[in-house]
A and B are shown apart, each in its own frame.
Chain A
């Protein structure tokens, strides 16, 4: 009986541990080492180049033939950097933290998706605000940002 109880308890403990692990795995799927690299590359690109405007660092993060899906922005890394440099001529000091940290980052294989949330004035009542989401998506290839999509353009944009 003791043996039975003990082994039963052990089995229950093992089962509980398994269930707990399964729950964690469901709740939050961890990045593979490659996904972790891809995610860090993209977050650092957004921090250093697009956030603090250090356009001189672009080649560290972006492929020369960067593909742009936002039709108001130019194709290719260098034309995009020239375009942004005109708008933001003065870089800010680099910081370890991003300027606008995304609320959610989802990396799957070579795709990194960032969602950031900001407070916007309610068009029906300017004394109120609501939360609007902005999306940025980057495809990584050979360790560099290769392609970009966002929702800046269109009915939900700007």
Chain B
């Protein structure tokens, strides 16, 4: 019986090390950065509460999306176009994957697409956010400029 417990413990350890190999754990700072970015994304981007921009975003925030590139003012102007929605505890759409390396937080999305022929497919979008001094400092995605 004791031996069984030991082998369970070893099994749990082996499992834990396998998991850590597969998904490298966040450091304390990375966990903080990821939490900041996901709260910012949920409250300001997804539910449109641009009045919270200064809580999350640096004064000299840099946006690389070609449709609203510039600073925080351009960002607020863009996301303030549509009315804010009540903030929910969860995002309207769950990301496929979120990971954080140092000051960079990556959000990977999986979306449904459809060809003109009606053929359905899945595709991915990516967001990278850089955190600096506890604020969202810079954002990149893969958007093309609207015609």
Contact = CB atoms under 8 A, between A and B. Distances in A.
B101 interface: yes
A28 B101 CA distance: 8
B126 A113 contact: yes
Interface string A14-56: 0000000000011111001011000000000000000000000
A115 B128 contact: yes
Give the residue among A32, A124, A154 with the most B Cβ atoms within 10 A: A154
Contacts, number: 107
A106 B128 contact: yes
B102 A132 contact: no
Contacts of A133: 64, 140-142
A111 interface: yes
B125 A131 contact: no
For chain B, give the interface size range. Answer: 35 or more
A111 B142 contact: no
A122 interface: yes
A69 B66 CA distance: 26
B104 to A, nearest CB: 5
A1 interface: no
Interface string B17-35: 0000111100101100000
B121 interface: yes
Given A108-B100, A108-B106, A109-B23, 19 more contacts: A25-B29, A25-B102, A26-B103, A28-B103, A34-B21, A71-B121, A104-B128, A108-B99, A109-B99, A110-B24, A113-B106, A115-B128, A115-B140, A123-B145, A130-B69, A150-B124, A151-B123, A154-B123, A154-B125
Interface of A: 25-29, 32, 34-35, 69-71, 104, 106-111, 113, 115, 120, 122-124, 130-135, 137, 149-151, 153-157
Contacts of A149: 108, 124
Interface of B: 21-24, 27, 29-30, 64, 66, 69, 97, 99-104, 106, 108, 110-111, 113, 121-126, 128, 140-147
Given A115-B128, A149-B108, A110 B142 contact: no
Contact of A124 (B27, B64, B69, B145): B145
A108 B24 contact: yes
Contacts of A137: 108, 124, 126
